[in-house]
Amino acid sequence: MTDGTTETGETGRLDAAELRRRTADLLAAHPPADTAPLDFLRARFDAGLAWVHFPRGLGGLDAPRALQAVVDAELEAAGAPDNDPRRIGIGLGMAAPTILRFGTDEQKQRFLRPLWTGEEAWCQLFSEPGAGSDLAALATSAVRDEDGTGWVVDGQKVWTSSAHLARWAILIARTDPDLPKHRGITYFVCDMTDPGVEVRPLRQITGEAEFNEVFLTGVRIPDAHRLGAVGEGWKVAQTTLMNERVAIGGARQPREGGMIGVAARAWRERPEARTHDLHQRLLRHWVDAEVARLTGERLRQQLAKGHPGPEGSGMKLAFARLAQQISGWEVEFLGEDGLAYDDWTLRRPEGVDFTGRQAGYRYLRAKGNSIEGGTSEVLLNIVAERVLGLPPEPRTDKDVAWKDLPR
């Protein structure tokens, strides 16, 4: 078997026909019309049809990643419930691949099933008031407790999406201030319901509070909730960050999907607002969106062969630029109706909805696309150094102990 679509070969890897058969068996045993959504999702996970490229027993079948589309299409046609990926995107796109790569067997068994079914939402405790673009400068501390079985965490995190919904968080904290900033960090799973965890809303330019700041005061984390070795948190975090950029910028879209589809629909519905200049700009945005979509397909083919690399940073860069350009075009095209929208309240949303809200919301929310998941400036450096092979920027603090860095 070479492309994942032929009959099962001697290697025992599954093909599309076998996955269709297994999906049909799932639907026969758990008809979507007669099965509670959560029960169906649990059964799907146990059948290995949640993410087919994951190992057996962890929601997968060790099948090629590309075959997930076969399962998804069969289930969608049958009206099966999904796991609301917009609400649990951080768990699916960031926590799960990190746990899979660095977690113990016990951690994988404990966390992956309720993560995928949506029973337990996740958030990401990375950025801090003094460590955003320079994330490795983080100051949140984790100190061994008296009996050596766990850690006591103190600090503040910021821009934490969905912290108000999350049961669990992926957290990086400093465990050795005597080492240079990249080497004294350890990666943990934090229970957001534990004493000492305080979540406060951050109101955004859109009027809602999708983000939060999180205060950690004497939060106790058992060592069993550590991911990776002590002091190797930056290495673990790279897996999270690379997957995050793919999750933000590399989501699969049909042709004319996403924000370019909204803009094109507005153009077709309002012939009285058309001008030659707006038409030419829309065409350029449409072409750029299609190039980005096809590039994303190529990136997902690379992902099928292993872990994401720095190319995901390029996709996230393109996504942020396009979202801001297209939303700006839409506001200009709609004229006096462009910036108005009818939900200017302190909402606590369960996710970002770029296509189901009004143009004014999209325009304002898109401003955050060049900040979240790594600023565009940082991602440009990553692409320059790790994709194009250009000389790195001078880093004078690379070998300086974190405690000696100016703050």
C-alpha–C-alpha distance, residues 254 and 293, integer Å: 8
∠377-381-386 over CA atoms, to 5°? 150
Query: How far separated are the first and last CA of the chain, in Å rounded?
Result: 56
What are the start-end ranges of the E strands in 335-381? Answer: none
C-alpha–C-alpha distance, residues 121 and 264, integer Å: 34
C-beta separation of 141 from 154 below 8 A: yes
C-alpha–C-alpha distance, residues 248 and 315, integer Å: 9
β-strand partners of 124: 170
Other CB atoms within 10 A of residue 400 CB: 14
C-beta separation of 29 from 16 below 8 A: no
Residue 181: Cβ-neighbour burial (10 angstroms; 0-12, 13-18, 19+): buried
C-alpha–C-alpha distance, residues 289 and 297, integer Å: 13
Residues labelled catalytic? 244
Which helix (H) or strand (E) is 5 found in, with range?
none
The two three-digit tokens of residue 331, written as one number: 């506001």
